[in-house]
């Protein structure tokens, strides 16, 4: 009885201490100086540059790498601030960042490549390729989950939440076999949340399953398939799933303001993510995502611009074709699903990796990526052959980074 009393007392003491710590953090975050707000509108590139410089001078984010492409040309390419301030690595367009969920664009491209080769079809049942894909359907009459459902997040598979921050490993630790990994974790996410194909709800688990399908039909690891069929053909020499020697001089370190709500989550990340404290920021050690098909790429905005240019040029760049015109058209215009709470298809929709909406009559497709220390975005306006790629080493100001892209898209390029 005494032991139970002491246990309860210690638990209450821990709750009080945790509450006080959370209150202290919230107060500091609320009174801490805020980074400069973006202008409502701009009239020139110079005004855009001035705001990005002001933002990185403030230090949140520490660095921005920004590229604009039209057709098969880079028409704007600049960096601001620091990719790694303690190590004095500037945030140039060659700086190397975690792509996070922008990786899903590449995974979807790989699936379309394999369809072009006749190795699979989008309406094939997933279980045809992965016998271990056993899910709990809402009813006995449910439509079976297909590759198409995985591509546009309409499978009904739930997403991982807190598990994602534990699915990382560090330099010197072994990499993860993607098929074995998804086979191991799938039972936890096997109960479908809704009838497959009814609407879209974002899930990283679905793209992990796509990675296993790519491995099955190609006979290669997911990573090696992407290297051989997308990264190398496009000359994306500073992009990979690991940090290479060529990337090291340009390596951006993930960062986060010391006094920020995201800081509260860092103790839950597996392993030793914190490298040092400098410039009122926490700087992260090098780490890798275990789940590579949804979020594993690491690379530069300059390399990402080559991917964007190939896509805008109907799947071809510098004489190298990575996708057929038909596949690019399908990825751009087909397969879109509304989310559960949407009344119409006119606003945000989820397609094959891409998310889309209409902005003053302009078709916009995009995908961003965010996680500990990094935020990235690729936004394309296909009808104008125009694309924007922005990488930063800080996720805490993502709304202002998104506004930068909106301001850039308002200019005449």
The whole-number average pLDDT for the span 15-24 is 57
As a whole number, the mean pLDDT across the chain is 92
112 vs 311: CA distance, rounded Å = 13
CATH code of the domain occupying 96-245+286-342+349-409: 3.40.710.10
144 vs 197: CA distance, rounded Å = 9
pLDDT at site 260: 80
> Is the model more confident about 249 or about 357?
249
Contact yes or no for 391/95 (Cβ under 8 A):
yes
pLDDT at site 207: 98
Span 154-211, pLDDT tens digits: 999 999 988 888 999 999 999 999 999 999 999 999 999 999 999 999 999 999 999 9
pLDDT bin (cut points 50, 70, 90) of residue 263 is confident
pLDDT at site 265: 76
Q: Which residue has the tokens 């805008």?
A: 312
Tell me the β-bridge partners of 350: 337, 355
Contact yes or no for 36/53 (Cβ under 8 A):
no
CA dihedral of residues 119, 125, 131, 132 (deg, nearest 10): 120
Give the dihedral sign, CA 24/86/375/372: negative
- Residues in CB range of 264: below 8 A, 6 or more apart: 22, 25
pTM of the shown model: 0.91
For 335, the token pair is 């397969």
CA dihedral of residues 266, 161, 243, 55 (deg, nearest 10): -60
Backbone angles phi, psi at 274, to 5 degrees: -80, 125
pLDDT bin (cut points 50, 70, 90) of residue 249 is very high
- Judged against a pLDDT cut of 90, whether residue 138 lies above it is answered with yes
pLDDT at site 23: 60
Please state which of the ranges 80-94, 127-141, 248-262, 280-294 shows the lowest mean pLDDT: 248-262
Query: Can you give the three-state secondary structure of the chain, one letter per residue?
Result: CHHHHHHHHHHHHHHHHHHHHHHHHHHHHHHCCCCCCCCCCCCCHHHHHHHHHHHHHHCCCCEEEEEEEECCEEEEEEEEEEEECCCCEECCCCCEEECHHHHHHHHHHHHHHHHHCCCCCCCCEHHHCCCCCCCECCCCCCCCCEHHHHHCCCCCCCCCCHHHHHCEEECCCCCCCHHHHHHHHHHHHCECCCCCCCCECCCHHHHHHHHHHHHHHHCCCHHHHHHHHHHCCCCCCCEECCCCCCCHHHECCCEEECCCHHHHHHHHCCCCCEEEEECCEEEECCEEECCHHHHCCEEEHHHHHHHHHHHHCCCEECCEECCCHHHHHHHHHCCCECECCCCCCCCCEECCCCEEEEECCEEEEEEEEEECCEEEEEEEEHHHCEEEEEEECCCCCHHHHHHHHHHHHCCCC
pLDDT bin (cut points 50, 70, 90) of residue 4 is very low
Please state which of the ranges 87-96, 162-171, 315-324 shows the lowest mean pLDDT: 162-171
pLDDT at site 358: 82
Give me the percent of the chain exceeding a pLDDT of 70. 91
> Is the model more confident about 9 or about 271?
271
For 140, the token pair is 């006995």
pLDDT at site 5: 43
- Angle made by CA atoms 305, 351, 104, in degrees to the nearest 5: 45
For 391, the token pair is 């990488």
Cα–Cα distances (Å) from 379 to 90, 206, 299, 357, in that order, read 24, 22, 17, 11
The whole-number average pLDDT for the span 26-55 is 86
pLDDT bin (cut points 50, 70, 90) of residue 7 is very low
Contact yes or no for 244/329 (Cβ under 8 A):
no
The structural domains of the chain, with segments of one domain joined by +, span: 96-245+286-342+349-409
Q: Which residue has the tokens 């003053």?
A: 360
**Number of C-beta neighbours around residue 211 at 10 A:** 27
The whole-number average pLDDT for the span 117-144 is 97
The whole-number average pLDDT for the span 293-310 is 98
**Number of C-beta neighbours around residue 412 at 10 A:** 4
Give me the percent of the chain exceeding a pLDDT of 90. 82
pLDDT at site 10: 55
Closest C-alpha among 345, 375, 348 to residue 364: 348
For 290, the token pair is 């275990």
Contact yes or no for 83/251 (Cβ under 8 A):
yes
Tell me the β-bridge partners of 391: 65, 376
Contact yes or no for 369/353 (Cβ under 8 A):
no
The whole-number average pLDDT for the span 377-402 is 97
Helices 103-116 and 204-218 pack at an angle, to 10 degrees, of 40
Span 390-411, pLDDT tens digits: 999 999 999 999 999 999 999 9
For 343, the token pair is 């009344």
């Amino acid at each position: 009885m005494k032991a139970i009393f002491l246990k309860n007392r210690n638990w209450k003491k821990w709750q009080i201490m945790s509450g006080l710590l959370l209150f202290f953090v919230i107060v500091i975050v609320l009174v801490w100086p805020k980074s400069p707000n973006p202008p409502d509108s701009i009239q020139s590139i110079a005004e855009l540059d001035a705001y990005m410089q002001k933002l990185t001078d403030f230090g949140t984010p520490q660095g921005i790498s920004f590229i604009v492409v039209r057709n098969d040309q880079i028409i704007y390419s600049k960096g601001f601030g620091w990719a790694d301030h303690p190590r004095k690595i500037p945030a140039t367009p060659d700086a190397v960042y975690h792509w996070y969920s922008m990786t899903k664009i590449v995974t979807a491209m790989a699936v379309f490549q394999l369809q072009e080769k006749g190795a699979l079809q989008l309406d094939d049942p997933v279980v045809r390729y992965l016998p271990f894909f056993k899910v709990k359907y809402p009813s006995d009459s449910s439509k079976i989950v297909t590759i198409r459902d995985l591509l546009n997040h309409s499978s009904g598979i739930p997403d991982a939440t807190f598990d994602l921050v534990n699915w990382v490993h560090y330099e010197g630790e072994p990499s993860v076999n993607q098929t074995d990994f998804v086979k191991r974790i799938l039972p936890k996410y096997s109960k479908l949340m809704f009838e497959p194909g009814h609407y879209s709800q974002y899930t990283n688990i679905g793209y992990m399953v796509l990675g296993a399908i790519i491995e099955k039909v190609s006979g290669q690891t997911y990573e090696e398939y992407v290297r051989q069929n997308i990264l190398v053909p496009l000359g994306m020499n500073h992009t990979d799933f690991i940090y290479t020697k060529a990337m090291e001089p340009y390596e951006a370190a993930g960062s986060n303001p010391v006094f920020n709500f995201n800081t509260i989550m860092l103790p839950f990340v597996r392993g030793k993510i914190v490298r040092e404290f400098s410039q009122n920021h926490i700087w992260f050690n090098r780490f890798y995502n275990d789940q590579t098909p949804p979020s594993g790429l690491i690379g530069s905005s300059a390399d990402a611009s080559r991917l964007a240019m190939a896509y805008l040029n109907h799947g071809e760049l510098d004489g190298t074709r990575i996708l057929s015109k038909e596949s690019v058209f399908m990825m751009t215009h087909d397969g879109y699903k509304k989310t559960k709470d949407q009344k119409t298809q006119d606003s945000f929709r989820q397609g094959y990796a891409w998310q889309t909406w209409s902005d003053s009559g302009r078709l916009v497709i995009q995908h961003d990526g965010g996680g500990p220390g990094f935020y990235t975005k690729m936004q394309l306006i296909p009808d104008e052959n125009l694309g924007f790629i922005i990488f930063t080493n800080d996720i805490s100001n993502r709304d202002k980074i998104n506004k930068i892209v909106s301001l850039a898209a308002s200019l005449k390029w």
